[in-house]
């Protein structure tokens, strides 16, 4: 039984890993290519991309509710209802993307200013945001559709579409950032446009596959809203929205703290973050696999099987994330080098700081894997309130406050702490990973997630 369960987990996990690698490579390739323009461009694209992720809570909410409901209906062998959830999830994703698009276009520069960026970084970063946010409706709809497929047990199609996105992005980046083969040299703006066009092309291919019935779920565009299904999506999704909003808000504060340590520290943080984003790809894969199988097991009225899924997933993710930790700790400078150019006058400083970042986060990769798996299990079961509570408490108490106090220092009565700079912020981030993992484990062991009604 355990061997068969591991094979099922791996069959769902590896395409999800490759899909997320492809998705992450869109940003990663942007950073590598833009990195040839210097540390100012790195900081600008990194901060612009960071702001775009601050706007993702709504998308995460729709996709979480869609995945959980589709998994339940597929587990119960009710594919007609699963397809209705897919359709309504796409409609809901489009509607909720519009205000996000508006916020990015109107207040993107103000957000970068609040985050403490210099005027040069604000100008370049906002030029990136203005273009990339135009593609948010398509990005949202694609995210919801791919989540429905994963809930139904199809992780290969999102993988293939992710590979298509990345391959297109590499070509368009080369053409538009550097102005090759007669295309205009757009630099930072070219990176944003390349990403948006790549996402659009992959979504259109996926849409054709859905409409022609070539996938596990068929999309029927009735253009009618099913209020009951939308309510059920939102019942699961609203706590997820709050959780991701808190996550984004805390990350906004956190990156604002990092930004105030200077452009070099910010560039090092962004480079280190992009490298680490590749390291936690295995965790994302097992997050998706666990969510789908837990939801399907509960839909089939097999809570004991759902619990076994989580235990096996924890074992497997610990192995993979342990390997990633060794790589980050053993080869930090070599992992950073592709992202920075030797002609940059700040090359040595950025390389040194980014390598320290990878050493610090390397020690927390295994508990990070546990957060992904346990959080995925709870969300797949429809329990999105528990992750919300974990995010609300752990990130504030164990990341934000220590990062600020230890980073800038504090002098209060008899307490005098000298500021440690950006390294303190990175240590706080690693600490918070351990505390969040412990909280998720406690919530999982309580077992209330097994009786959630969706």
pLDDT digit of tens for each residue in the chain (454 aa)? Answer: 577 888 989 999 999 888 877 776 666 677 778 877 877 888 888 778 777 777 777 788 899 999 999 999 999 999 999 999 999 999 999 999 999 899 888 888 888 888 777 888 888 888 988 999 999 999 999 999 999 999 999 999 999 998 898 889 889 989 999 999 889 899 889 988 998 999 999 999 999 999 999 999 999 888 888 999 999 999 998 898 898 888 878 988 998 899 889 889 988 998 898 888 888 889 989 999 999 999 999 999 999 999 999 999 999 999 999 999 999 999 999 999 988 888 888 889 999 999 999 999 999 999 999 999 999 999 999 999 999 999 999 999 999 999 999 998 777 776 677 778 899 999 999 999 999 999 999 999 999 999 888 7
CA atoms within 13 A on the CB side of 353: 25
87 touches 220 (CB < 8 A)? yes
Classified as helix, coil or strand, 215 is coil
pLDDT score of 49: 76
Q: What is the CA radius of gyration of the chain?
A: 21
Phi, psi of 409 (to 5 degrees): 85, 165
pLDDT score of 397: 95
Q: Which two tokens stand for residue 198?
A: 């790549």
Measured over all CA atoms, what is the biggest interatomic distance in the chain, rounded to whole angstroms? 71
pLDDT score of 58: 77
Determine if the pTM surpasses 0.85.
no
pLDDT score of 5: 87
- Give the residue among 370, 393, 170 at the shortest CA–CA distance from 287: 370
């Amino acid at each position: 039984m355990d061997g068969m369960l591991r094979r099922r987990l791996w069959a769902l996990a590896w395409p999800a890993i490759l899909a997320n690698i492809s998705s992450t490579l869109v940003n990663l390739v942007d950073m590598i290519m833009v990195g040839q323009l210097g540390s100012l461009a790195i900081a600008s694209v990194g901060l612009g991309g960071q702001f775009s992720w601050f706007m993702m809570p709504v998308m995460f909410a729709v996709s979480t509710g869609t995945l959980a409901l589709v998994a339940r209906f597929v587990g119960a062998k009710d594919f007609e209802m699963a397809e209705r959830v897919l359709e309504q999830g796409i409609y809901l994703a489009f509607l909720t993307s519009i205000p996000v698009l508006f916020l990015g276009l109107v207040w993107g520069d103000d957000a970068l200013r609040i985050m403490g960026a210099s005027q040069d970084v604000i100008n370049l970063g906002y030029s990136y945001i203005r273009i990339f946010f135009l593609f948010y409706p398509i990005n949202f709809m694609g995210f919801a559709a791919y989540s429905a497929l994963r809930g139904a047990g199809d992780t290969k199609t999102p993988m293939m579409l992710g590979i298509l996105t990345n391959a297109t992005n590499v070509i368009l980046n080369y053409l538009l950032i550097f102005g090759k083969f007669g295309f205009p040299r757009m630099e930072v703006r070219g990176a944003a446009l390349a990403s948006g066009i790549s996402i659009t092309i992959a979504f259109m291919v996926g849409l054709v596959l859905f409409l022609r019935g070539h996938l596990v779920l068929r999309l029927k565009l009735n253009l009618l809203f099913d209020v009951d299904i939308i309510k059920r999506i939102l019942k699961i999704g609203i706590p997820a929205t709050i959780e991701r909003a808190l996550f984004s808000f805390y990350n906004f504060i956190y990156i604002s703290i990092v930004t105030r340590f200077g452009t070099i520290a910010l560039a090092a943080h962004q480079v280190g973050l992009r490298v680490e984003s590749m390291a936690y790809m295995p965790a994302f894969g097992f997050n998706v696999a666990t969510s789908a199988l837990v939801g399907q097991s509960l839909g089939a009225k097999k809570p004991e099987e759902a619990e076994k899924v989580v235990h096996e997933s924890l074992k497997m993710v610990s192995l993979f994330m342990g390997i990633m930790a060794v790589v980050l700790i053993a080869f930090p400078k070599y992992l950073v080098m592709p992202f920075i150019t030797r002609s940059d006058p700040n090359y040595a400083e950025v390389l040194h700081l980014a390598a320290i970042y990878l050493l610090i986060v390397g020690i927390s990769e295994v508990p990070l894997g546990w957060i992904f798996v346990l959080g995925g299990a709870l969300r797949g079961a429809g329990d999105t309130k528990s992750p919300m509570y974990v995010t609300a408490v752990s990130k504030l108490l164990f990341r934000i406050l220590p990062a600020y106090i230890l980073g800038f220092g504090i002098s209060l009565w008899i307490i005098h702490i000298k500021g440690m700079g950006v390294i303190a912020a990175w240590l706080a981030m690693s600490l918070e990973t351990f505390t969040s993992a412990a909280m998720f484990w406690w919530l999982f062991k309580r077992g209330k997630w097994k009786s959630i009604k969706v």
